[in-house]
């Protein structure tokens, strides 16, 4: 796993040799239906503080107001549980997002009592539970990756990082990292989602090489690379951050 992480970070260094950080303001992000259950329930709160949160049995996506073209790194932290509400359903990330019918979604469930039939978690429309990466293309779901018996735990915060480098997608969520070849959606928006679940997302960050996208003019290229200094501070933060840490 360590070797994989080092390789992963080297990929990121080459990806972001001339990196620019896209300014994030989640209060401008789009509040849409959940990518699998097509439900939009409960309100997103904490958007102005850049800590989007859903409470109770909430479903919905929160998708960036900017549209990425090509390589990117999307990172942050996800906390599935709240102290007020114990549940076991879906939290996740979306990327390559065109709309609810065309995107990638990386979802994760908890099963509270593994091996029993009661209190099963909500499933993705594919029937997947555990950790799953689904490609939705013209409304047809296909599973790109699944660990069916890996569940998130209560009172944990998980780091995530999703990146594209040419045809390669690199995914890191908690202790799991994997890479796959897929170019169905090279461009698109990024975001977060829940289905019948509380969740809080924190320190959302998007880095692109060479260009930064102005949210006011998403297709424009701005020739103002922020450079390695900013990127390296982000990389050090990534190295220093515990990959699975207990909520304080
Ligand atoms: Ca729980
Ligand atoms: Ca439940
Ligand atoms: Ca629920």
3-state secondary structure 87-104: CCCEEEEEEEEEECCEEE
Cα-Cα-Cα-Cα torsion 79, 27, 59, 118, nearest 10 degrees, comes to: 10
4 by DSSP, 3-state: which?
helix
Mean pLDDT, range 139-150, rounded to an integer = 96
Distance (angstroms) between ligand 2 centre and the Cα of 178 equals 27
The two three-digit tokens of residue 191, written as one number: 């975001």
The two three-digit tokens of residue 9, written as one number: 């970070």
- pLDDT above 60 for 1: no
Percent of the chain predicted with pLDDT > 70:
74
Distance (angstroms) between ligand 3 centre and the Cα of 122 equals 7
Q: Would you state the pLDDT for residue 242?
A: 36
Architecture in CATH for domain 2-246: Sandwich (2.60)
Distance (angstroms) between ligand 1 centre and the Cα of 116 equals 15
What is the number of the ligand closest to the CA of 112? 1
- pLDDT above 50 for 42: yes
pTM of the model: 0.80
Nearest 5°: the CA angle 157, 49, 18 is: 75
Distance (angstroms) between ligand 2 centre and the Cα of 122 equals 6
Note the pLDDT tens digit of each residue in 173-220. Answer: 999 999 999 999 999 999 999 999 999 999 999 999 855 445 455 443
- pLDDT tier, 18 (very low <50, low <70, confident <90, very high otherwise): low
Mean pLDDT, range 19-48, rounded to an integer = 95
Mean pLDDT, range 221-238, rounded to an integer = 37
What is the number of the ligand closest to the CA of 197? 3
């Amino acid at each position: 796993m360590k070797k994989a992480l080092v390789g992963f970070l080297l990929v990121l260094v080459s990806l972001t040799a001339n990196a620019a950080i896209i300014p994030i303001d989640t209060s401008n992000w789009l509040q849409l239906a959940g990518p699998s259950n097509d439900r939009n329930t409960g309100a997103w709160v904490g958007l102005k503080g850049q800590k989007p949160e859903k409470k109770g049995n909430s479903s919905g996506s929160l998708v960036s107001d900017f549209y990425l073209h090509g390589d990117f790194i999307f990172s942050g932290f996800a906390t599935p549980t709240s102290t007020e509400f114990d549940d076991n359903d879906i939290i996740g990330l979306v990327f390559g997002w065109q709309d609810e019918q065309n995107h990638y979604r990386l979802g994760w469930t908890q099963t509270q009592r593994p091996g029993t039939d009661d209190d099963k978690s909500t499933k993705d429309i594919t029937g997947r539970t555990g950790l799953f990466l689904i490609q939705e293309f013209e409304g047809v779901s296909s599973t790109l990756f699944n660990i069916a018996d890996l569940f998130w735990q209560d009172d944990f915060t998980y780091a995530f990082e999703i990146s594209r480098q040419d045809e390669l997608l690199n995914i890191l969520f908690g202790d799991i990292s994997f890479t796959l070849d897929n170019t169905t959606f090279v461009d698109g928006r990024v975001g977060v989602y829940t289905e019948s679940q509380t969740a809080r997302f924190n320190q959302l960050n998007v880095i692109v090489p060479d260009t930064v996208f102005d949210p006011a003019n998403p297709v424009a290229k701005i020739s103002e690379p922020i450079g390695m200094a900013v990127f390296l501070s982000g990389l050090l933060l990534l190295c220093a951050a515990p990959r699975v840490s207990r909520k304080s």
